[in-house]
Structure 1
């Protein structure tokens, strides 16, 4: 296979072998040659005689080639799943992650909690427990279980990771609890706060029922991020390949992990010069124009490279090549074309405010004093607003809002034009009431397991909806109840189109700008917390639905019972949310002066920049409202973003129909607009290096070294991310927790500019 060249449409030049090439928004997978399928039939039995060889061959052919290369086509339904080991390890990893993630939310720099770390360490601990625990039955009257029923199974391993993925994170409900307490001294009742966080998360989980039939079972929707984790599960256990290959993969995995771990101490701590190589500054270090153009920290990042994996990440090994091309094109247009035009010409007030800043300003260019706008009840003080005047932002932020408006509408038009046939086909399956209507090998295997009944999702939705209504009327959330209903409806509408994009591209479209705008028009002049509650509700519906669907796709690939997967995700939240709240209380009670701005943290860590940022947005859209905000002529062009969001995908669709070989279907307007919406003002050093890395990973190796790509692409990405996460965690523990150890200044850690971009003032 390595000798064949793979074209962009997924077929070889010889036209005989077809593989899934991650380049098309709605990929099509023609049948493979019989010889290829025969190789994959080895070792498989036709479901105890239920399928003959021809039917088995056809069911495998329906699975995309890339999935067959990374996912087992066999299953052992007798493997243990929910065991004593599962509960012990899932509780441990959820609790650990909930603490780390929640603390990180308040800090300026922090250590991420990698699911790859959970996968690796839980594998060790699970096997350790299987070797050491006695095989003893325990009777607690209400439940009976065995401490060590069988060897540690891969399905236990998967469920532990899925529980951690669900519960070992911070959650959007923290925004409401923290902003109310820090800035308005309104402490929510602990029980109410916990139920608020549970309700906002599980509302999104219930919405997964909307997208499940459309996004989960269709074999063409591969969910690249789910494939990556699946590859690591199988590599750790050496499944589906020879012992020699498995050992080599493990050696490569550990070599990359250890290498990235030790290397990351350089850009992240000891040698930050390597994090942003501003090449142009080396030739003219004291030129202001060169600094603006070349710097990756607050500049354009032109011809700027990075050796810091945190600025690249495994996204270059997960996101399809066509997605990366779109993203880099948007970056070039936004940062390398529009930014210098606005900066050097002053177009659209380009010189009035710092163009690479995401703050809001008074007309004179000073920072806008938001907190002065609220009266004692927390509503808009119109007299003060008239005195201060309208809020202003950089031109960079203005076109970010413009493309944010285009993004949301484009998603719906895009999926109607390019994905309506696939969605209609799924609807036809649903009309026939076929639970497992797709006949590919994986769906055939999963048909042996009981599906999650719809009433589970309905019950979860009703419980969350009623809980939120009660909280709105009893806990001073400042949200008109009818806006909550609208937020839920709009969130439900978002699940399928946004999920469809993520399932084929691994790109998550942001909906925050649209949600804030909608609420601002519905309830202007209300308390900023009301705007944040709406944002959490409308956003959580989509983000959590995507999260649960991706994890369910992992369960689908690993042949884990859907009910066990679903309950494992709920279990993760049951454990994680109370711990999230306890950490929030500890941080606010001990760091309040730093978080509310009354004191400055001398270490610059407990800045509370996340809650401050959300407060600013709540004031901007909820308190002031878009009507007042847009009364200035500078905001007038933003409204054209809505029209662009509708027209652009239509144009691409017509061009694709007129010139089908030109691949206009690959130019996904929603992904392009969403990338144009991204803010690179703080760090712009990663995109160029990421694009180069993505070219080798997802284009060159995929097409010309495909067998090598299959064995190592996802594996190396997981190893590198894990090494980085462990390094950041180590830096946090050893140099930034009990005793702060600051790296001494030296040539590679210049206190003025680590990039050597000084400008004329230095």
Structure 2
């Protein structure tokens, strides 16, 4: 029987050896029509769930491979995917029985022979993962047009539009943006239109025709335009957070010259671009890095452009494109109900309706003030899909929600025991309060932009809510836990990636795909790669721009050059495990708090430097993840790497210019920007978190925080490190338990608070269980064909509807006042009446006595 102690001699087969023996590019037609017909019938009736368009290729492979070759491939698959959480358990169980032989498999010889070859061919010549097979092709045609004039024309136009809209509405609550799903819907008809109206004007150079109109709008053109817009369809972190926090009088009140804006924006954005290229060997080429959040994007574009043969799947015969259109229309129409006509269906805080004046009930079950322990929290897809319910694997959702639930229990304990005076603060706010129950005013503790000890001791320490304490404590534990645990679990691929990167630098002729021989990498190896020194060159340019920025604009940055070097190096150490985790689970461990702490230790009392260094750390991490995710889309779609490189480079440049332009218009033309009573709801909720963080970790500093009232935070690092060691050794002893239990995800879930609560995660868990577990296991063919199309259609419908609703009935408010809209804000959970457990004492302040805080 095949088991864990299977002899190493038998199982020691490298993927490179397998590819040399059974090349993925060879197609052999079956000579025996009878066998082919019989096998095809089995393919339709058995477990071989592939689209009709791919069946011919797969059947050719099945007919051309021998049983011995198939068994060798499956042995390698068992060894390679034994601890792979995304590899289907039923497939693993089946291929183990297949390797053991027909007696263990329990089927007749013909069925055994077919199933043996079918599983081997799907794994080796397609993909080991059904979710990847349903959005990719097992073949490629390099002659298909990809990089064209019309791609750049459309992508640049939509990048400007989407970045402009995102930047303009980023300070609004709620914000408005044009999602990539909506943009894809417009790219498709506009691309088709350009293929009809543009003239065929061009020239031929070295045998290649360059023309305005190369013919029919292709799938690869659609995907390249999508990748370009994807990477740049939002405002930059510099424009949406850092610059406005520095500029506004209610925060720091500094002048921010245009040159400073551009230097900070360009240098921080392109740091992420450069890191993405370095990360390719860890999270793009490895087959285990499936990047689940990319799959709906691929599914949507396939529905729009890929032709389908008629086929009946679990009783459904509707095509992907028609299914998408139907769901999109229904989603567009339905969203008017929870977003405008019946808002209680969105914020469904029904538990608080029982007794609206009850503070305790609002804290426990409230969706706005409270922690959201509500079994039926919403009927709004925008909330139900907050954690990508139909794309992130169910085990990942479950781990996170378990952690969030445990965090909620901890918040209740802290709040109702008045832990660190949290009963005087709203239970789950992300705003820092002073001892007078007002927003912490940093200008009262600053002199010449730096911390003034005397003013601080006279004014107040900052006080956290229970939810904010849970968020920060979880982050601190998660950093040490994640770094140690992921490095230990993924040491082999991380170390291999380092060796491959070094070999590519010292050996120019070595190809990036030399160590990766899965089917996707084999198909992509036909294209010229982007050399690593291209990305290293961008890294050097970005660093140079950063040095110029902090040296020329010292008043605005107050940051030494060495501090940027330290933050960037620390970020790069964290990046491989963080991005590996996201590529497998779909969840991101954000390191913005780590950047703030490092800056606070290096430059205590300096809020401006903290903002600047946080910008570099956050952008290097978040942008690299965004760029890498789109590189994986390009990998799946077989886009030439150099075309993608040029496209991302151009799109990022346009994004930076557009975001700065819109930001300056906002500062000059929007009255009362970021005031709580701003007429058009430009109240800047995100800036509160950004400003609060700069106060805590910059002005006050981590040393005062860890040595003072919140000393428990310092212990969280030790707790996380100890938990990592314990969990790693337990995972070695109990591998089946730790196959689905991931401590990093659980602790990460504990940090998903302030201002969000359980209302944003409970409904998504239900949907994830139904679609990503139940349907995926019981109705595989239906799930492969429709699941990601359903997710993309619902999201696109909501996004398009939100934009129409805002400009038609919300920008110039046309309110509908009735019970279904008013009930959510009629009680304590809606902001009416008692908002904290304890009221401000008669003496006028709460907390530590004057002189007690450090």
TM value normalised by structure 2: 0.80
CA contact (8 A) 2:329 2:797 kept: yes
d(CA) in 2 for partners of 1:150, 1:22: 46
| Aligned mate of 1:331, from 404, 410, 426 | 404
- Determine whether 1:451 maps to 2:523: no
Larger deviation: 264-273 or 129-138? 129-138
Correspondence for 2:723: 648
Where do 5+ consecutive residues of structure 2 fail to align?
Answer: 1-43, 50-74, 99-112, 505-509, 835-854
Correspondence for 2:777: 703
- Determine whether 1:159 maps to 2:227: no
- Determine whether 1:461 maps to 2:539: yes
Larger deviation: 516-525 or 21-30? 21-30
Deviation per CA, 1:93-129: give whole Å up to 9, x if none.
Answer: 1011011110122212222221111212101110111
CA 224–181 in structure 1, closer or farther in 2 if over 3 Å, else same: same
- Determine whether 1:180 maps to 2:246: yes
d(CA) in 1 for partners of 2:466, 2:833: 25
Per-residue deviation at 1:408?
A: 1.3
Correspondence for 2:330: 259
Correspondence for 1:387: 458
Per-residue deviation at 1:426?
A: 4.5
d(CA) in 2 for partners of 1:144, 1:185: 55
CA 397–626 in structure 1, closer or farther in 2 if over 3 Å, else same: same
d(CA) in 1 for partners of 2:361, 2:257: 53
Correspondence for 1:11: none
CA 97–244 in structure 1, closer or farther in 2 if over 3 Å, else same: farther
CA 27–698 in structure 1, closer or farther in 2 if over 3 Å, else same: closer
Correspondence for 1:744: 816
Per-residue deviation at 1:542?
A: 1.3
d(CA) in 2 for partners of 1:513, 1:280: 34
Correspondence for 1:669: 743
Per-residue deviation at 1:36?
A: 5.8
d(CA) in 2 for partners of 1:622, 1:239: 56
Per-residue deviation at 1:20?
A: 8.8
CA contact (8 A) 2:126 2:138 kept: no
- Determine whether 1:211 maps to 2:293: no
Correspondence for 1:224: 292
d(CA) in 1 for partners of 2:322, 2:644: 31
SS at match of 2:478: helix
CA contact (8 A) 1:27 1:220 kept: no
SS at match of 1:451: coil
- Determine whether 1:441 maps to 2:535: no
Correspondence for 1:45: none
| Aligned mate of 2:182, from 97, 100, 117 | 117
d(CA) in 2 for partners of 1:547, 1:472: 26
Per-residue deviation at 1:27?
A: 8.6
Correspondence for 1:569: 648
CA contact (8 A) 1:207 1:545 kept: yes
SS at match of 2:765: helix
CA contact (8 A) 2:451 2:700 kept: yes
Correspondence for 1:344: 416
Correspondence for 1:295: 366
- Determine whether 1:735 maps to 2:803: no
Correspondence for 1:627: 703
Per-residue deviation at 1:138?
A: 7.2
Correspondence for 1:507: 587
Pairs within 5 Å for 1:362-511: 362-375=434-447, 377-426=448-497, 433=510, 435-436=512-513, 437-476=515-554, 477-511=557-591
**Number of residue equivalences:** 727
- Determine whether 1:537 maps to 2:616: yes
Per-residue deviation at 1:288?
A: 3.2
Deviation per CA, 1:616-662: give whole Å up to 9, x if none.
Answer: 32122111212223342x3121111111221222222222222233x
Correspondence for 1:68: 133
d(CA) in 1 for partners of 2:818, 2:329: 26
Per-residue deviation at 1:442?
A: 1.1
Correspondence for 1:92: 157
TM value normalised by structure 1: 0.89
Per-residue deviation at 1:756?
A: 9.7
- Determine whether 1:638 maps to 2:713: yes
d(CA) in 1 for partners of 2:749, 2:587: 10
CA contact (8 A) 1:652 1:665 kept: no
SS at match of 1:299: coil
Where do 5+ consecutive residues of structure 1 fail to align?
Answer: 7-14, 41-53
- Determine whether 1:554 maps to 2:628: no
CA 164–761 in structure 1, closer or farther in 2 if over 3 Å, else same: closer
Deviation per CA, 1:556-585: give whole Å up to 9, x if none.
Answer: 000000111111111111222111111001
Deviation per CA, 1:366-411: give whole Å up to 9, x if none.
Answer: 4322222222x21122221110132221222222211111111112
CA 589–719 in structure 1, closer or farther in 2 if over 3 Å, else same: same
SS at match of 1:126: helix
Tell me: higher relative CO, structure 1 or 2? Use CA pairs within 8 A at least 6 residues apart: 1
CA contact (8 A) 1:501 1:508 kept: yes
d(CA) in 2 for partners of 1:79, 1:752: 54
Deviation per CA, 1:432-476: give whole Å up to 9, x if none.
Answer: 955312211111110000010111111101111011101100013
Per-residue deviation at 1:76?
A: 0.9
CA contact (8 A) 2:597 2:702 kept: yes
Deviation per CA, 1:670-711: give whole Å up to 9, x if none.
Answer: 222222112154554222211111110111011111111111
Correspondence for 1:12: none
d(CA) in 2 for partners of 1:165, 1:664: 34
d(CA) in 2 for partners of 1:27, 1:629: 46
CA contact (8 A) 1:25 1:668 kept: no
| Aligned mate of 2:351, from 280, 293, 306 | 280
CA contact (8 A) 1:138 1:145 kept: yes
d(CA) in 1 for partners of 2:83, 2:787: 13
CA contact (8 A) 2:122 2:128 kept: no
CA 22–606 in structure 1, closer or farther in 2 if over 3 Å, else same: farther
CA contact (8 A) 1:277 1:306 kept: yes
CA 756–374 in structure 1, closer or farther in 2 if over 3 Å, else same: closer
SS at match of 1:106: coil
> Which has the larger Rg?
2
CA contact (8 A) 2:370 2:428 kept: yes
State the superposition RMSD in angstroms. Answer: 3.1
CA contact (8 A) 1:99 1:580 kept: yes
